[in-house]
Amino acid sequence: MDRFEPQHGVFLVEGRPCLSWKFTTKLHEPTLDGLLGEYTLYVDQKTERPVRFHYVGRNGMLGGSHIDEYSLEYVYVREGPVDEDVFASLPASMNCTEMPGDDESPARNPKQDISMLMPEGTATKKEVFENYSAMHSKTYNDPAEAVQRLATFHHNLRFINAENRKGLPYHLRVNHFADLTHEERQKLHRPSRVKRAKNNGALSMHKILSLEDPEDIDWREKGAVTSVKDQGTCGSCWTFGTTGALEGALFAQQKKLFNMSQQNLLDCSWDFGNHACDGGLDYQAYEWIMANGGLETTATYGSYRNAPDYCHFNASNAIGRMNGFVNVTSVEALNDALATVGPLSVSIDAALPSFYFYGGGFYDNVECKSDLDSLDHSVLAVGVTTHNGQKYTLIKNSWSRHWGEDGYIKITQKDDLCGVAAAATYPVLAD
């Protein structure tokens, strides 16, 4: 604060009389090493507590491309240490560990976020971004793109840290999506060419076999789930949901786990309404499998290549002949199918930034939609777990193990959040 100068007079901020201090940067062309702007801190005249930190100018964090403005509002300020008596009696079940320092935890303390908005924070911004780029093997075409990616990364980082300060039952984490804009993430993982039909030609709806609510289920523990994959920059999620459900059905039938080929479906199922990296649907993939007497494994067809290629399907190598598939359209039916059948292909709403940056915990963001038109991503339901009396579906994603809990997420079943049970399916194999 030694570079801030006190301003004369009293200023009203949200109806509160405030004193203010201002710092103005030198006039020069904005670059990554500097920015032109005005920073103002407002402090309540009576309580001497901060009320607002305001910045306006050409921010180097955004490449200096245009005038930008930030206003950080102090809703609650707590001073001094917490009375030790508050922690005099801890529950016997609580295991305590050392609290990381402020420098280690910007998610808990916003000082680092704020400091990087200041001119002298440029070096820190660069270092944080360079560490991220190295960790995720990121390379960029030219300096201009690097500037844009740095700006996008810090925009996403501030969002992640801000969400993590809310004390939610889940937390977010920087991952390989952090240098992408929301629009870019949508383009990569939300292909819109294919829409889900309400009548998809299924054999039937799932009939609930048990009157009791099933206990916790995890098909990973039974050996019915293959390793987490990475769909890369291709909108091929539909192939991963389909093959995961088929792998589960084959495991139930043969007590053996196969790695079914996503590339086989990506290359060959165009005539059934799928569009490779531009999207597809699980039931259209099932129809191709039924018409062709099964699907090849990665051992015979080849591994996933992040792009469509010429179809070289060999029917003599195909396994998993199907008689049809079954729809699952309620939470009760979903849980029963998971208990009695196996993993299910499910479609969900994956549009929210909190979903893209999910790092762990129990996901319950009520903004996640459940209507059919909002289902934009195919994944695999592999089980159910209970936390604080609330059931959560265990979901296997196809965004690599860098995402979520080693590639998985737990989504609350309350109000069928994210539409997990709105359009689930599983294959019925031939004898």
Catalytic-labelled residue, pool 237, 277, 368, 418: 237
Residue 43 has pLDDT above 70, yes or no: yes
What is the spatial distance between Cα 347 and Cα 303, in angstroms, rounded to a whole number?
24
Instruction: Give the pLDDT band of residue 152 (cuts 50, 70, 90).
Output: very high
Residues 6 or more apart in contact with residue 223 via CB below 8 angstroms: 251, 257
Q: Mean pLDDT across the stretch 108-127? A: 62
The terminus-to-terminus CA distance of the chain in angstroms comes to 76
Weakest mean pLDDT among 25-39, 48-62, 63-77, 226-240: 25-39
d(CA 155, CA 369): 24
Q: Are 365 and 410 in contact (CB under 8 A)?
A: no
The Cα 8–Cα 6 span in angstroms is 7
Residue 50 has pLDDT above 70, yes or no: yes
One DSSP character per residue, 328-373 reads E-SHHHHHHHHHHT--EEEEE---SHHHHTEEEEEE--TTS--SGG
Catalytic residue, from 156, 292, 335, 397: name it.
397
- Nearest alpha carbon to residue 229 among 382, 399, 348: 399
Q: What are phi and psi of 50, to 5 degrees?
A: -65, 140
Q: How many CB atoms lie within 10 A of CB 350?
A: 25
- What is the spatial distance between Cα 321 and Cα 328, in angstroms, rounded to a whole number? 21
Catalytic residue among 264, 268, 377, 418: 377
pTM greater than 0.85: no
Q: Measured on CA atoms in the order 264, 267, 272, 273, is the torsion positive or negative?
A: positive
Residue-level pLDDT at 7: 86
Q: What is the mean pLDDT of residues 206-223?
A: 85
pLDDT digits (tens, 9 = 90+) for 313-371: 999 999 999 999 999 999 999 999 999 999 999 999 999 999 999 999 999 999 999 99
Q: Nearest CA to 238 among 204, 272, 205? A: 272
Catalytic residue status for 314 = no
Report yes or no: 28 and 34 within 8 Å, Cβ to Cβ: yes
Q: Give the model's pLDDT for residue 3.
A: 75
Q: Average pLDDT of 392-404?
A: 95
Distance CA 405, CA 363 (A): 12
pLDDT at residue number 2: 66
At 33, the pLDDT band (50, 70, 90 cuts) reads very low
pLDDT at 27: 46
Please compute the mean of the pLDDT values over residues 395-419 and round it to a whole number: 96
Residue 106: band (very low, low, confident or very high) from pLDDT cuts 50, 70, 90:
low
Question: For position 369, what pLDDT does the model report?
Answer: 96
Distance of CA 146 to the CA centre of its chain: 23
3-state secondary structure of 5: strand
* Dist CA 24 CA 17 (whole Å): 23
- Asked which of 53-57, 299-303, 388-392, 416-420 is least confident by mean pLDDT, the reply is 53-57
Percent of the chain with pLDDT strictly greater than 70? 81
Q: How confident is the model at residue 26 (pLDDT cuts 50, 70, 90)?
A: low
Q: Tell me: pLDDT of 28 over 60.
A: no
Highest mean pLDDT among 83-92, 96-105, 402-411: 402-411
The C-alpha atoms of residue 57 and residue 352 are separated, in whole angstroms, by: 29
Query: Domains of the chain, with CATH numbers?
Result: 196-429 (3.90.70.10)
Return d(Cα 409, Cα 260) in angstroms, integer: 22
| CA dist., res. 387 & res. 179, Å (int) | 33
Determine whether 274 is an active site residue. Answer: no
Lowest mean pLDDT among 23-37, 71-85, 345-359, 402-416: 23-37
For the question of residue 234 being annotated catalytic, the response is no
State the DSSP string of 34-103.
Answer: B-EEEEEEEEETTT--EEEEEEEEE-GGGTT-SEEEEEEE------SPPPGGGGSS--TTPPP-PPPPGG
Does the pLDDT at position 53 exceed 80?
Answer: yes
Give burial (CB, 10 Å; 0-12/13-18/19+) of 421. buried
Could you read off the pLDDT of 265-308 as tens digits, one per residue?
999 999 999 999 999 999 999 999 999 999 999 999 999 999 99
* DSSP assignment letter at 399: B
160 in Cβ contact with 174 (< 8 Å): yes
Sequence-distant (6+) residues with CB within 8 A of 353 are 156, 159, 182
Record the tokens describing residue 329, joined without a space.
């359209």
